[in-house]
Amino acid sequence: MKAMLLEKQGNQLILRDVKVPEPGPREILIEVKACGVCRTDLHIVDGELTSPKLPLIPGHEIAGTVLETGRDTEKFKAGERVGIPWLGRTCGECWYCLEGRENLCDRPAFTGYTIDGGYAEYACADERFCFHLPEAYSYAEAAPLLCAGLIGYRAFSSVGDARRLGLYGFGAAAHILTQIALHQGKKVYAFTRPGDVDVQQFALSLGAAWAGDSTGNPPEELDAAIIFAPVGSLVPRALGSTRKGGTVVCAGIHMSSIPGFSYELLWGERILRSIANLTRTDGEQFLKLAPLVPVRTETRLYPLEKANEALDDLRHGRLKGAAVLAISNPRK
């Protein structure tokens, strides 16, 4: 099969011919139709997330069709539509797994990081951690839901009944989350790179109450803020825009160093927290909710061999919405 391989961090991906994987016990073999390009992929390629499996096929927003099932499979049958997320496997035995917090598992495996992912024509996955795709979405539309949507939903669930929500970094996750927040009667304030007028207009077109530079302040205090951009200097900025008792959530898997800031920004029972990975319950809840909103994903399609171009567009903020690799019939 054709696959884009990361052979050394800091280098570009290379198109290779590799063997089609064989499903093991409780695994399914998927024909990949589309795979989203996530900022986590970028962190892995650029070396900001260390110790990946190498060589590695990246990609963890995988939408496709089940071709073959391994021994002891029960959840999926050949021909069914399937989505593969970042959380590829957990131990099921550590304290976190036993307490229902499998996103914090001590011995996890992650798709496109420690397990080969979806920048390829085929992929294998543990069926227990895969999801049935809503029929309302094509493969290309569904791919960004599997991480941008899921992580955004988990972050959103952590801010309670916040009515005025700030989103720092208006990319794939934020454009999905905006639709959910508006559906639930929230007001959204979008923060973008300085001078990024096109993305600000995109946010406003989705219904954001305000859109502006991340260096500025919103027209009113926020109840909560979610930071998707991997920029540590946004933490004190978000705290400064959030009311007493509010919450600031760091939703990315990697962030640059957070600069020192006055305790006054945190005082007043403000909460600063992170979001790590996802649980299968998150996925089930979100994929049930998305068609009801309905969430619509804005995508830019790239052929598999243009994965480096997609990553570079993401790296330099040239995307509106989400980048998706079109592998096979992605719009069906």
Q: In CATH, what is the architecture of 150-274?
A: 3-Layer(aba) Sandwich (3.40)
Q: Where in the chain is the domain with CATH 3.40.50.720?
A: 150-274
> 328 falls in which pLDDT band (50, 70, 90)?
confident
Return the structure tokens found at 211.
């859109």
pLDDT of 64: 98
Separation of CA 24 from chain center:
27
- In the chain, list all ranges with CATH 3.90.180.10: 2-147+278-326
Categorise residue 207: left if φ over 0, alpha if ψ from -120 to 50, beta otherwise: left
The structure's pTM equals 0.96
Per-residue pLDDT tens digits for 293-305: 999 999 999 999 9
Strands 122-126 and 27-37: antiparallel
In tens, the pLDDT along 183-233 reads: 999 999 999 999 999 999 999 999 999 999 999 999 999 999 999 999 999
Q: 2-147+278-326 in CATH: which number? A: 3.90.180.10
Q: What is the mean pLDDT of the chain?
A: 97
Please say if the pLDDT value at position 331 is more than 90: no
Q: Measure Cα distances from 34 to 8, 103, 122, 241, 276 in Å.
A: 24, 25, 10, 38, 24
For residue 154, is pLDDT > 90? yes
User: What pLDDT was estimated at residue 289?
Assistant: 98
**Among the listed residues 300, 262, 175, the one whose alpha carbon sits nearest the alpha carbon of residue 226:** 175
